Structure 1
Amino acid sequence: MAECGSENECQDAEEWRGTSELKIVLDHPQGVFYPGNRVTGAVLLNINGPRPVLALRLKCEGEGMVFFTDRSAGFRRKFSNTQSYLSVERYLFDGKSEGTIPNGENVFPFSVDLPDEIPCSFEGRYGRVRYSVAAYLERGKVARMTTSVSFTVAPVLDLNQDSLATLPISEDNSKAIVGYSEPLNMLVTLPVRGFVPGQTIPVKIVLKNPSKIEIRKIRVVFKKVITYHADRKSRRHKEIVVEIEIPVIANVDLYETGVDVPAVPPTGMVFCGIIDVWYTLKVEACIEVDEWYLKILKKNLKTRMRIVIGTVPLRHYETPEEEERTFAESDEAHRREFDDKKSVTESTPAKMRSKSNGIDNKFYKESKIYPSSKPNRDDPTGTDDDGGNGDADSYAPLYQVYKFNKNKDKTSTATDSNIRHH
């Protein structure tokens, strides 16, 4: 993108247009970096013929932003908040001391150290945490070319360090229904509370219906709950990530299903003071009622549970396929070394593990903003109501997604259950 001021500067811009290209290339192919690590890449400037410039400037920024509208009490007020996590600026080329940029492709490498205590990238309906690198080619006092690229700061949350993640869940709820002598009872169990993207949450449901209340289906809803904190006001927004409907079968008490966790940020948004993220799993026994006035008296039986989403899976619960393969290869290599009676200064398993934990061996997938659980209460997007964020300025962070053995029996008892991944 070129900017110009006076007529001469605009003429200069016309001369540069079509004869130059300015872009940023990050070393990581997907643009993913971790807190405390180094963002590396290069600014590429391709020009036809040597040209004088004032400077080539690099700016790396990280900022959190919240923006929403409150319509309570008959008034409409806008709220916003910002936080800065990173601001680094430096010159890659100084025209005063280095002279003219030569003809052809010019490569200007750069590296920026990320702080240890910064939040991960996040994009939501009413806020975001975004990191970017921008390059400014100063050709005159006003005229310049600019380019920028956003990158992902990957989150780190080890479930093995979370005391709640390892605990199983068992929620037993009952509800007395008007017109029936025996209450409706539902027991929901999960083997652990903590999961990672790519993993399946196995849900076991025991539905006891002694009065034979007409239950049409069981809904299992995995929600992302985000709280946006502006100055003097907060707003909570719920997104439906996965929704499953299980038909209820006569004389069947036990139902099992699996909720696949997609690429989502971890619980907590550590080091971010304006955005909180957590997850809930709701299981609902839907009572068959046609008359509107009976819906008030015969409400569904619901069970809600907090789920912890992390980035490192629980060791003693389920092992990702890549780690299983790596450890098997490591053990075989170690056995061969033992048989050959070779001495080694570093064990092969340790080498394998360090290699498998390298960032380039991980699989990342774009995240998304999921449908709202109450869309009628949402502000419209792409207007002044969203703080000017709009869709034109969107970016999708990437989160690590593990691969697990899907051959395990985690299917629903009702084989025709309807699963909706939003």
Structure 2
Amino acid sequence: MIFDKVKKFDIVFDSPEIDSPPVFSSGDVVSGKVVLELGGESKIESLKLHAEGFAKVHWTESRSAGSSAAYTQNYSDEVEYLNRREALLQADNGELTVLAAGRHEYPFSFQLPEETLVTSFEGKHGSIRYWVKVKLHRPWCTVRKIKKEFTVIEPIDINTPALLAPQAGTKEKNARVWYRNFGQVCVTAKIDRKGYTPGEVIPVFAEFDNATSRSIVPKAYITQTQTFIARGTMKQKRAVVATLSGDPVGPSRRETWHGRAIKIPPVGPSILQCRIIKVEYTLKVCVEVPGTSKLCLELPLVMGTIPLHPFGSRTSSVSSQYSVNLEWLRMAISEQPEPPPDYSSVVTNEEAVQNAANTNNNSSCPEEDLSEDLSGILGRPLMAYVQEFRFRPPPVYCEVDPNPQPCNMRPRCMTC
């Protein structure tokens, strides 16, 4: 019996979370080490690393060729996304490398392709996988192999004009059973945008117009469609991931949803860049009419990985608020200000005589400099002063004139 001196042979990724598998994107550097622990001195021919990434599909269909004959048709295809080879330990000139007993570590590092990869995926008829495989070659021994997978998630940013655009539609049909017509059903639905991330809530705005003689039941679904393509043939698998039910709508009545919420469960992101595997999402707003088929309105969805920026939804509101501020400025400052009212119209004769006497008694008041330094005012924008004084209260009323006249000016006679 041959004693195997290899006690441990493992791949360890450089990941901050040891228990969870590492996650990468296109252009990231995948690094780690190969741990080799030997129970005694051993001769090694080579230690080779192979990084691979493939999208593969496969399914089988049985077809009938007659009453008793049948044949099976296989469909399969694959797309390569990563293929990198590296020698971690290689003997020179055909000589063997002798390793002492104990622990040996061989670090590795490689960069994923800069071009867009495809998110890892596991489906019924196909998968998208990435892994690192290491082979240990020794003389007179079988090749030892280890393989460890890692996850690739390609970012999908929903903060793009295409994914922020609202989605809406209208659909109608005549409800019929055999030759009898029950009337027409119309569905109109709208959502705020096309791109969402798992965990978000989609507010559904819809209107259900029931012109039939039967009650209808409005519902909304989020569906996932997995599409597998091979040899020009397509295989699909659909699943409902979230459901929203409404109240029945009676005959000749109309029901409106003012933002009914349907929550997105934890699902994988959309896959739209792969040639043979696609993962797509749809919001279906349907009406169930007893005795006939459903009426469904489909609105496309894209499940992203980068959520909506906090300021992304505020862009329009900020711009509209700024325009409102400017409108307020135009309304507050008139083109031709009105002249102030005459002094005699707001002050009685007795008060005017008393004010004139007080002015004559204050003959020793100093001269005031009426010149003002406008350099600081002109150096600041007008909107800053508008905002500074916009929310201040009016000045407190006082009998003392805040702008007294110089002493060398004679008071106006009110009896003239």
TM bucket (normalised to shorter chain) is 0.5 to 0.7
Q: Aligned residue for 1:304?
A: 298
> Could you tell me which amino acid in structure 2 is paired with residue 104 of structure 1?
G
Q: Aligned residue for 2:84?
A: 88
Q: Distance in 2 between matches of 1:180 and 1:317?
A: 48
Q: Aligned residue for 1:236?
A: 236
Q: CA deviation at 1:39?
A: 0.8
Q: CA deviation at 1:258?
A: 1.2
Q: Aligned residue for 2:286?
A: 284
Distance change (3 Å), C-alpha of 1:33 and 1:214: same
Q: Aligned residue for 1:257?
A: 261
Q: 2:29·2:109 contact (CA, 8 Å) conserved in 1?
A: yes
Q: CA deviation at 1:41?
A: 0.9
Q: Aligned residue for 2:97?
A: 99
Larger radius of gyration: 2
Distance change (3 Å), C-alpha of 1:189 and 1:212: farther
Please give the TM-score of this superposition, normalised by the length of structure 1: 0.63
Q: Helix, strand or coil for the counterpart of 1:160?
A: coil
Q: In the alignment, is residue 21 of structure 1 matched against residue 4 of structure 2? A: no
Bigger drift between 68-77 and 46-55 goes to 68-77
Decide which of 171, 175, 178 is 1:177's aligned counterpart: 175
Distance change (3 Å), C-alpha of 1:56 and 1:225: same
Q: Aligned residue for 1:127?
A: 126
Q: CA deviation at 1:27?
A: 1.2
Q: CA deviation at 1:26?
A: 1.0
| CA deviation map 1:68-91 (0-9, x unaligned) | 223456553111112222111222
Distance change (3 Å), C-alpha of 1:145 and 1:241: same
| CA deviation map 1:307-355 (0-9, x unaligned) | 1222223435569xxxxxxxxxxxxxxxxxxxxxxxxxxxxxxxxxxxx
Q: CA deviation at 1:107?
A: 1.4
Q: Distance in 1 between matches of 2:208 and 2:304?
A: 30
Q: Distance in 1 between matches of 2:121 and 2:271?
A: 12
Distance change (3 Å), C-alpha of 1:184 and 1:46: same
Q: Distance in 2 between matches of 1:264 and 1:146?
A: 31
Q: Aligned residue for 1:372?
A: none
Decide which of 164, 167, 171 is 2:165's aligned counterpart: 167
Q: Aligned residue for 1:138?
A: 137
> Could you tell me which amino acid in structure 2 is paired with residue 186 of structure 1?
V
Q: 1:166·1:314 contact (CA, 8 Å) conserved in 2?
A: no
> Could you tell me which amino acid in structure 2 is paired with residue 304 of structure 1?
E
Please give the TM-score of this superposition, normalised by the length of structure 2: 0.64
Q: Distance in 2 between matches of 1:52 and 1:43?
A: 17
| CA deviation map 1:9-48 (0-9, x unaligned) | xx33x433xx601111111233111111111111111222
> Could you tell me which amino acid in structure 1 is paired with residue 294 of structure 2?
N
| CA deviation map 1:89-137 (0-9, x unaligned) | 2221235568322332221110121112232222211111211001112
How many equivalent pairs are there?
294
Q: Structure 1: 5+ residue runs without aligned partners?
A: 1-10, 289-294, 320-422
Q: Aligned residue for 1:186?
A: 187
Q: Distance in 2 between matches of 1:38 and 1:98?
A: 31
What is the percentage of aligned positions where both structures have the same residue? 25
Q: How does 1:22-421 map to 2 (within 5 A)?
A: 22-28=9-15, 29=17, 30-71=21-62, 74=65, 75-95=71-91, 99-117=97-115, 118-161=117-160, 163-178=161-176, 182-211=183-212, 213-215=214-216, 217-248=217-248, 253-255=255-257, 256-268=260-272, 270=273, 272-288=274-290, 295=291, 298-315=292-309
Q: Helix, strand or coil for the counterpart of 2:159?
A: helix
Q: Distance in 2 between matches of 1:182 and 1:80?
A: 48
Q: 1:64·1:130 contact (CA, 8 Å) conserved in 2?
A: yes
| CA deviation map 1:196-220 (0-9, x unaligned) | 23322222332233546223x4332
Q: Distance in 1 between matches of 2:85 and 2:232?
A: 32
Q: Distance in 2 between matches of 1:158 and 1:225?
A: 21
Bigger drift between 252-261 and 47-56 goes to 252-261
Q: Aligned residue for 1:356?
A: none
| CA deviation map 1:111-170 (0-9, x unaligned) | 121112232222211111211001112222551322111111111222234x43111122
Q: Distance in 1 between matches of 2:35 and 2:171?
A: 62
Q: Distance in 2 between matches of 1:104 and 1:249?
A: 76
